[in-house]
Amino acid sequence: MKKLIGIAATGAMLLALTGCATSGNAASDGPKPLDELVVGFAQVGAESGWRTANTKDIQASFEEAGIELKFSDAQQKQENQIKAIRSYIQQQVDVIAFSPVVETGWDAVLNEAKAAGIPVVLTDRAVDSQDDSLYVSFLGSDFVAEGEKAGQWVLDEYADSSESVKIIQLEGTTGAAPAIDRAEGFAEVIAENPNLEVVASQTGDFTRAGGKQVTEALLKSNPDVDLIYAHNDDMGLGAIEAIEAAGMEPGVDIKIVTVDAVKDGMQALADGKINFIVECSPLLGKQLVDIVKQINDGEAPEKRIITEETTFTQEEAIEALPTRQY
Ligand code: AHR
């Protein structure tokens, strides 16, 4: 994990950062004792193994730090997340943190938080806004780099192939940062070899059921597909079920590359049903607690904190599985 380098700053500086004007929020009257701090966290949902691990880690980290965490699950709906954020503003929490379901459409509610003097921290996913004063820090992965790593494996795997390689892409939630960026990074890298062709690309909404359903349908129109690139493990695991149901061998007849490296995905990689996984770490809780403490102390956290991540081959998955936390 990249180390948080706190830039020493006064409470007044942080208030300038957030454009705060008001109230009894953290740092406006000096640091609060940790057991008096209240953080509102608006989670995306429970769509994947990754998300479940992320929720657990965040809840456990705040409990360990002795900071109260109000938690809401938006069930992958932006309107639910906006409602949750508005409710945290009304409750005058000290900090709001959230992982945006989709990239766009946040300016209005984030301006409300800013007007109320409540600092906002983005975790995991970015917002697409012209105004970066609407949040104090963004903690999460580089999704474009994840797509590039997946693309690089495919490029290397088929480096000696002179024939066309047909690829199906299972996209994450439409409009979500990881779906947009993982598609972009992958496309950029595989463009180096004109034999690599994405013949179909559809959303499976980051769920196992979605991955299975989309793969079933796409296999009918593309029975000769060579490889599936799934934007997360869960959709890859759904694809495995669809491939097996079609009488083929996942990992052999159709190769699979995914992103996340949760335990179920790593097991499938160890079993040879997935061929390569790009890691996306859900363990953001401790870093989020550090950011909240910095805000409480009147310091300005780093604006962008990128999570350090690796990749896994079958051998590496076999080695990592016994101690895998999630
Ligand atoms: O935003 C992170 C992504 O969201 C994870 O890759 C995926 O599993 C989750 O649903």
pLDDT tens by residue, 35-72: 999 999 999 999 999 999 999 999 999 999 999 999 99
* CATH pick for 11-138+282-307 out of 3.10.450.50, 3.40.50.2300, 3.40.50.150, 3.40.50.920: 3.40.50.2300
pLDDT tens by residue, 255-268: 999 999 999 999 99
pLDDT tens by residue, 170-187: 999 999 999 999 999 999
Å from CA of 232 to ligand 1 middle: 6
CA distances from 193 to 157, 212, 222 (A): 11, 28, 21
SS3 at position 302: coil
Q: pLDDT value at position 170?
A: 98
Å from CA of 178 to ligand 1 middle: 7
Same fold, 11-138+282-307 and 143-280: yes
Q: Which atom of ligand 1 is nearest to the CA of 259?
A: 6
- Ligand 1 pocket at CB < 6 A: 47-48, 50-51, 124-125, 178, 206, 232, 234, 259-260, 280
Share of the chain above pLDDT 90, in %: 90
- The residue ranges of every structural domain in the chain are 11-138+282-307, 143-280
- Residues 178-205, mean pLDDT to the nearest whole number: 98
For residues 134 and 100, the answer to whether their CB atoms sit within 8 Å is: no
Å from CA of 176 to ligand 1 middle: 9
Å from CA of 280 to ligand 1 middle: 8
pLDDT tens by residue, 4-17: 333 333 333 344 44
CA–CA separation, 50 and 123 (whole Å): 14
pLDDT tens by residue, 241-259: 999 999 999 999 999 999 9
Å from CA of 284 to ligand 1 middle: 13
pLDDT tens by residue, 288-321: 999 999 999 999 999 999 999 999 999 999 999 9
Where would I find the H helices in the chain? 11-18, 49-65, 78-90, 107-115, 143-157, 177-190, 208-221, 233-245, 263-270, 285-296, 314-320
Å from CA of 91 to ligand 1 middle: 29
pLDDT tens by residue, 220-230: 999 999 999 99
Q: Which atom of ligand 1 is nearest to the CA of 124?
A: 1
Would the pTM of this model clear 0.85, i.e. be above it?
A: yes
Q: Which atom of ligand 1 is nearest to the CA of 47?
A: 10
Quick one: pLDDT band at residue 101, thresholds 50, 70, 90?
A: very high
Q: How many CB atoms lie within 10 A of CB 59?
A: 15
- Residues 124-130, mean pLDDT to the nearest whole number: 97
Instruction: Output the CATH code of domain 143-280.
Output: 3.40.50.2300
Ligand 1 pocket test target in 206, 262, 277, 306 with most atoms within 8 Å of CB: 206
